[in-house]
Amino acid sequence: MSRSILISSASFIALMGCEAGEMQTDPVPAPGSQQTGIEDASIAAGLTGRTFDVTGELFGYFLPQDEIAIGSIELDHIWVEPVWRAEDGTDFPQVGLAFDDVSSPTGIGELGNTYYEVTYSVMPEIYSVTDTGLSFIGQHELLGEIRFEGRWNPEHVAEMMAANPQNAGEALTGDLKIGDVIFNDVTFQGWLGD
C-alpha cells in the first residue's frame, strides 16, 4: 500500500509540474540576445563610403554589456580611433571589432590580464562616425557580413572621455548583425583603455 501511495504522489507532483510549465509565458529575450523579426537590411541601410565627422573628442573601446557570441567566437569590443588618425593621411582603420575564440588556450599578459590565443579582427570597409552615432558594414571570412547601427548616449560618452568608465555603461546602443544572427539593442560600455 505504501508503494502505491508513493507512486500516486510522484505522479501527482509530475502532473503539477507539467501544468505549471504550460501556464508560464515565454521569457522576453534580454538585450543583446538573438532576436527574430528584425529586417537585417534595415541595419546600416544605405551606408556608403567612410565618414568620420565629430565635433569633439570621441574615441575608445566599447565593450558589450551582454555576451555577443556565434558559437565559441565572442565579441570582445568595438574600437573607434581618435579623429587625428582620420586626418593624418595614414590608412589605419578608424573603426574595428575584436573577437575572441573562447575555446582557444589562454595566456597571461604583461598587466596580469588573461587573454585568448585565438583572436579575430574586423576592419569595416564602410563606416560612419558622427556626433549622433556609429554605423558600419564589414566582412570576415569566418563570421560573414557584419553590420552595426547605433547611437551614442552623450552623457555616458562624456563620462567615458573623462576616464570614468563606471559611469559610461550605456555609451553606445544599437543593432548588430553577425553572419545570419541579429542582436537587437546591444548596449556597450565606453572605456578609454589602460
Q: What are 75-91's pLDDT values in tens digits?
A: 999 999 987 776 766 67
pLDDT(191) > 90 = yes
User: Could you tell me the end-to-end alpha-carbon distance of the chain, in angstroms, rounded to an integer?
Assistant: 71
pLDDT band at 107 (very low <50, low <70, confident <90, very high): very high
What DSSP element (H or E) covers 180?
none
As a whole number of angstroms, the distance between CA 41 and CA 44 comes to: 7
Phi (first) and psi of residue 14, to 5 degrees: -65, -40
- Residue 40's pLDDT is 58
For the chain, percent of residues with pLDDT exceeding 70:
76
- Residue 24's pLDDT is 40
Whether residue 80 contacts residue 134, with contact meaning beta carbons closer than 8 Å, is answered with yes
Q: What are 146-185's pLDDT values in tens digits?
A: 999 999 999 999 999 999 999 999 999 999 999 888 999 9
- Residue 17's pLDDT is 43
- Residue 9's pLDDT is 40
pLDDT band at 114 (very low <50, low <70, confident <90, very high): very high
Whether residue 47 contacts residue 177, with contact meaning beta carbons closer than 8 Å, is answered with no
- Residue 69's pLDDT is 93
Q: What are 24-40's pLDDT values in tens digits?
A: 443 333 344 455 555 55
3-state helix, strand and coil shares in percent for the chain, rounded to the nearest 5:
20, 40, 40
- Residue 48's pLDDT is 85
pLDDT band at 139 (very low <50, low <70, confident <90, very high): very high
As a whole number of angstroms, the distance between CA 44 and CA 137 comes to: 7
pLDDT band at 19 (very low <50, low <70, confident <90, very high): very low
* Beta-bridge partners for 101: 73
Domain residue spans in the chain? 42-191
Q: Name every residue whose Cβ is closer than 8 Å to that of residue 123 and which is 6 or more positions away in sequence.
A: 93, 95, 96, 138
What is the value of pTM for the model shown? Answer: 0.77
Decide the pairing of beta strands 106-108 and 114-116.
Answer: antiparallel
